[in-house]
Structure formats: C-alpha cells, structure tokens
Structure 1
Amino acid sequence: MKFIWVTAAVMGLAACTENQGAAQNAGETIDTSSISLEPKVGTERWYTPVEVTRGKEVFGENCAGCHGQNAESTPSWKSVAANGQYPPPPLNGTAHAWHHPLDVLKMVIEQGGEPVGGVMPAWGDRLSDRQIIDVIASFQSYWPDDVYQSWLEREQSRRGSQ
C-alpha cells in the first residue's frame, strides 16, 4: 500500500513539474531569427517531430476550419468569394506561404492578415509563441521537399543579409 502512495505522489509531482514547464513556455517569446535552421533528426528540417505533433493539434483546433485539416484549404481559394475577399489559401506548399520568411509567417499568425492586405484574424492573444512556431512546423511538414528547400534557401539568404 505504501508503494502505491509513493508512486502516486511521484507521478503527481512529475505532472505538476510538466505543467509548470508548459506554463512557463506559454509566456516565452521566441525570436524567429534565433531558431536554428539545421536539420533535425526525424524531419531533416528546422523543426522536430514533437513540434509537428504539437502543431498539428493546435492547427486542428484553431486553423483547420479555414485552412483545411491538412492545410489543403478549399479548391476555389484563387477565386474571390461572395464577400469580395479571397478564401484562406492552402498552407501545404501549393500556394504562396512558402515565399514568406519565418518571421513573416509568425507575424501574420500573431497579428492577422490585415498588415499584409488579408483578412485572417489575429491569433497572438490566443496562441503562445511556442504554439505559433509549432503551427508553422505543422503546415511546413506538408510541404514537398523541393518547396521546403526553396523556402530554406530564401530563409538562409535573408538571414545572411541581416
């Protein structure tokens, strides 16, 4: 019986520590220029498999309603909708998202589309920097290798000029 109580106490303490870490990460500010572009094991891209998994969860809860469950959007995303606006573009590498550097992708999610002429709502008051970076990792994970490589070259070039 004592073993059960000790095990329960240790597990509870571990869960508490994990929750404190998550709470600390929620307020963490992430400067995209500090994110290493070196390929990570399991993705061979700048992000880890864990970031993709977390990002797909956040994307599914917050972004999929407009951008599609797998970032595929709608078939008519290039046509103006009845409201006079273009529908949300796909983020799976088939539209223009890959042209944008990491800091612009983050900024558009935080501030919404208005600063770049769009209508996407701002998510910075609902998503932490960590969640936003994870969301970017999630939709970039759908990008074909050639699209990702083109984005990476642009990102590296841009960072080299700063």
Structure 2
Amino acid sequence: MRMARASLGLLLVALISGCGDQTVEGRWYTQTQVERGKTVFSENCASCHGGNAQGTFNWKSPLQDGSYPPPPLNGSAHAWHHPFDMLMHTINKGGAPIGGQMPAFEDELSKDDKKAAIAYFQSKWDQRIYDAWLDRGGL
C-alpha cells in the first residue's frame, strides 16, 4: 500500500511539474506546444487564416493587387510543402517576399510562440500529410 501511494505521488509530481509532457506520437511537438499554439494562433493568425486554419475562400486566386489571400494551414494547401525553417522564416518576415500580404511577426512573437503556432496548425494535418512533409525534409 505504501509503495502504491509513493508511486502515485511521484506520478502526480511529474504531471504537475510538466515532466510528463512528451512529444505527440510521431510528431516533433508536444501537446503543451499545441495548446499554447492554439492561443497564439487565435490571437495572431486566425483573423486571416481562419479559426480552424482553414484559410480564406478562393485562396488560390490572386487579389487585384496581385497578392494572394491567406491559404489554409490545416494540411489542405501547400504549407506542408515547406520545411520547418521556411515556415519560421515566413512567420518572421511575413508573406510579401512570397507574394502575399501577411505581416512579419519577427518582433511580435517569441521563438517559442512561433514554434507553438506551427505545432498547432500541424496538429491539424493528418498523418499522411505530416509523413509527406517529413519525407520532403520538413525537419
């Protein structure tokens, strides 16, 4: 009985201290990053990319100024073609260098918040898309 209580106590301490935060199975990120990323995404990205990372209607068609509307980030568009470093670069520098209007977040978000935002939208990718991203050299 004493051993069981001690084991339960250690488990509770590990969970409370965050030591139990492991990567999501088959992914580079943790569930804590996904949860933080949901908040970061909601506060900084969702107004353009949609609350569920679904993008905007007609995102493939250029606007009158020649720029493109925000694409889906949920795995249904081309974000999965880009390696992690390019996703971070786009968040940092914005979309203008690649034909979009996304603002730069380099000085707006911490590196951890940017990684969390990526974790959040990648958590919406099915395993087939995520594996294809890895096969293309995503990490």
TM-score, reference length from structure 1: 0.68
Task: Tell me how far 1:129 sits from its aligned partner.
Answer: 0.4
State the match for 1:65 in structure 2: 47
Which one of the candidate residues 88, 94, 104 is aligned to 2:70?
Answer: 88
Gaps of 5+ in 1: 1-39
- Per-residue displacement from partner, 1:89-111 (whole Å, max 9, x unpaired)? 00000111000000000010011
CA distance in 1, matches of 2:42, 2:63: 23
Tell whether the 8 Å contact from 1:98 to 1:147 is kept in structure 2 after alignment: yes
The match for 2:104 among 117, 122, 130 is 122
Which residue is 1:153 aligned to?
Answer: 135
Deviations 1:109-139 (A, max 9, x none): 0111123333211001110000000000000
Unmatched 5+ stretches in structure 2: 1-21
Determine which structure has the larger helix proportion and give its number: 1
- Among candidates 97, 122, 134, match of residue 140 of structure 1: 122
State the partner residue of 1:47. 29
In structure 2, how many angstroms separate the alpha carbons of the residues matched to 1:122 and 1:130?
16
CA deviation profile, 1:49-85 (whole Å, cap 9, x unmatched): 0000000100000000000001001221112234432
Q: TM-score, structure 2 length as denominator?
A: 0.78
Question: RMSD of the alignment, in Å?
Answer: 1.6
Q: Alignment length, in residue pairs?
A: 118
Q: Residues 44 and 83 from structure 1, CA distance in 2 versus in 1: closer, same or farther, beyond 3 angstroms?
A: same
Aligned partner letter, 2:68: Y
* CA shift for structure 1 position 145: 1.0
Identity %: 53
Contact preservation (8 Å) 1:43, 1:49: no
Structure 1 CA distance for aligned equivalents of residues 25 and 52 of structure 2: 17
User: Does structure 1 retain, via aligned residues, the 8 Å contact 2:94–2:102?
Assistant: yes
Structure 2 letter corresponding to 1:58: V
